[in-house]
A and B are shown apart, each in its own frame.
Chain A
Amino acid sequence: MKDVTRLAAVAAVIALMAAAIRVQAERERRYPSEVSESDALYLTSGPLVSRLSIAYAPLAADVYWIRALQYYGGTKRKLAAEPAVLTPPPALAADPAGQYPLLYPLLDLTTTLDPRFNVAYRFGSVFLAEPYPNGPGRPDLAVMLLEKGLLNRPDKWEYMQDIGFVHYWYRQDYRAAATWFEKASRVGGAPWWLASLAATTLAQGGDRRSSRQMWTAIHESAEVDWLKRDAERRLLQLRALDEIDALQTQLSDFLKRTGQLAATWPALVRGRVVPGVMVDPTGTPYELTQDGAVELSRRSPLWPLPVEPQAARVRSAP
């Protein structure tokens, strides 16, 4: 074929491809395709997927891990974009995992394919335990995942610490939390502060000070950036809770002194209660409700604030 003919043929191919793309774009504009938002997990058996992946199970674990992250992040973002469902609908309240039905199966597959996938256990347990809408609110599954990790690596004090954390923060079961912190402290190589964390948890479990101590410990021991950043955010949330309590006291004093409900910042500034609009640790102004309560703004990166563990409510031993 001559050079000119060849060039003409190449140009024709490019032109035809461009035309096909243009036609497709026009068709999509006129008749938009329906976007399927349904997630599906066709294979749920870890041993089966392990067999199918032959010698490449760790690579398959990576794929499922990326899928779990995308699934969790995607679902969380979708829920955050729908303010109407920020509190679970009645049907969902009975089954909070209903919005994240694939999260545990994906994490289970990941850790079956690669039983030493440290981060899958540690992040996965946080994802599972987070209450709705930030997670399915399944601390039981979080503990189950971490216990599976301990079966494979009985020397991982981090998993024991994480189980203690799930009991502490999400179940408010301080005795169980203290037991796990104490168990973790006995593992070789565990940091010294785990023993004192166990004692504090048992003595003062649930108060904000011990919560702060626990998040500081997690922040210091976090191996990965994400966990560190999450602990930083939790510490800022605790600071916001302190500030809201202090502001609430000032507002109550103002009400007692003047008999007026202050529902706006200018009114409080005029009454010399606050020097200006009060902002949370991220710089987002706090909001005042009509009945005189101080709240964190929904626009704040710290929203929603955690439901604080009830102080000194010790449940049954594990």
Chain B
Amino acid sequence: MSATAAIALNVFRESVRDRVLYNLVLFAILLIGASYLIGQLTAGQDVKIIKDLGLSATSIFGLFIAVFIGIGLVSKEVDRRSVYSLLAKPIHRYQMIAGKYVGLTLTLIVNLSIMAAALYAVLAYMSWGVPPDVQKAWDAPALDPAMAKALALTLVELMIVTAIALFFSTFSTPMLSAAFTVGLFVVGHFSSDLRNFEQVVDSPASAALARALYWVLPNLAQFDVRSQVVHAQPVLLGYMLWTMTYAAIYIAALLVAAMIIFSRRDFK
């Protein structure tokens, strides 16, 4: 097994040991509880609301994992001084960064897969026995396979967030890394405002700066297709491919930057 794969597996095992997967229990309780309560509160919109809730909860839980584990991936090793014994082994520093990233991504994939299965199970239960004429009134079927597209893009978005957290983790404290990562997540959802900044300011220089920031900062809003999916609006394959390609390049850039910084760090 290569060093990267060994580190990745270790990160996954560590997250399981750290009871990260306990969030799945919370997710299941949230969905089951909501499905029971919401049916009585929403005037026939229970399936739509469970979809909204399930897809949003998947993203929120994933965000917590990506941020709060991602920020400690490197700094924890440094604080515990386990980085010395790790780097004394025949592995390159870039392998450590890559392994940490792959490990956390694996944790996210397992988490999201189980959450997706739970969401489909709850929706199957809710739509069980519902007359076909009532089902016809829903925007999209309860077990709509298109939800997988929203879940896939959520995973890709979380992979970017993980890369951001890991990047900050290589040179900053966990507290600051968390603040920077959450800040970038929020900014990433509003970055399109920067593109049209010239409409609110007169200064061409400010507008140009805003435009530059728009291109440099991660554009995370494009990964949010949850509303389209819930309302059965089409999410085209071409769109998915373009956004995923963007994510792959952006992640690669962040990881390379993290590897450069980490390789230059002096642990004496």
Contacts and interface: CB of A to CB of B under 8 A. Distances in A.
Contact of B43 (A54, A61, A226): A226
Interface string A215-229: 000000001111000
A118 B43 CA distance: 12
Interface in B127-142: 134, 136-137, 139
A119 interface: yes
A162 B139 CA distance: 19
Contact of B139 (A51, A54, A118, A225): A118
B42 A55 contact: no
A114 interface: yes
B41 A66 contact: yes
Given A65-B42, A116-B231, A123-B43, A59 B53 contact: yes
Nearest to B44: A224
B91 interface: no
A55 B43 CA distance: 25
Q: A59, A118, A123: which has the most chain B beta carbons within 10 Å? A: A59
Given A61-B52, A65-B49, A119-B44, 11 more contacts: A55-B56, A55-B220, A55-B224, A56-B59, A57-B227, A59-B56, A62-B48, A62-B49, A62-B52, A123-B43, A226-B43
A310 interface: no
B120 interface: no
A88 interface: no
B56 A56 contact: yes
Nearest to B54: A59
B224 A59 contact: no
Contacts of B185: 54
| B interface secondary structure, majority | helix
Contacts of A58: 52, 56, 226-227, 230
Contacts of A260: none
Contact of A55 (B38, B53, B59, B233): B59
B45 interface: yes
B53 A62 contact: yes
25 contacts: A54-B186, A55-B59, A55-B221, A55-B224, A56-B60, A57-B227, A59-B53, A61-B52, A62-B45, A62-B48, A62-B49, A66-B42, A70-B41, A116-B227, A116-B231, A118-B139, A119-B43, A123-B43, A223-B137, A224-B43, A224-B134, A224-B137, A225-B44, A226-B43, A226-B44
Interface string A33-56: 000000000000000000100111
Interface of A: 51, 54-59, 61-62, 65-66, 69-70, 114, 116, 118-119, 123, 223-226
A194 to B, nearest CB: 18
Nearest to A115: B227
B190 A51 contact: yes
Contacts of B224: 55
A225 B190 CA distance: 39
B189 interface: yes
Contacts of A223: 136-137
Interface string B197-209: 0000000000000
Quick one: which of B43, B52, B60, B231 has the most chain A CB within 10 A? B43
Contacts of A123: 43
Nearest to B226: A58
Contacts of B227: 57-58, 114, 116
Contacts of A51: 190
Interface string B179-202: 000000110011000000000000
Contacts of A118: 139
Contacts of B230: 58
Interface string B218-242: 0011001011001101000000000
Contacts of A65: 42, 45, 49
Contacts of B38: 66
B58 to A, nearest CB: 11
Nearest to A61: B52
Nearest to A222: B137
B40 to A, nearest CB: 10
Nearest to A114: B227
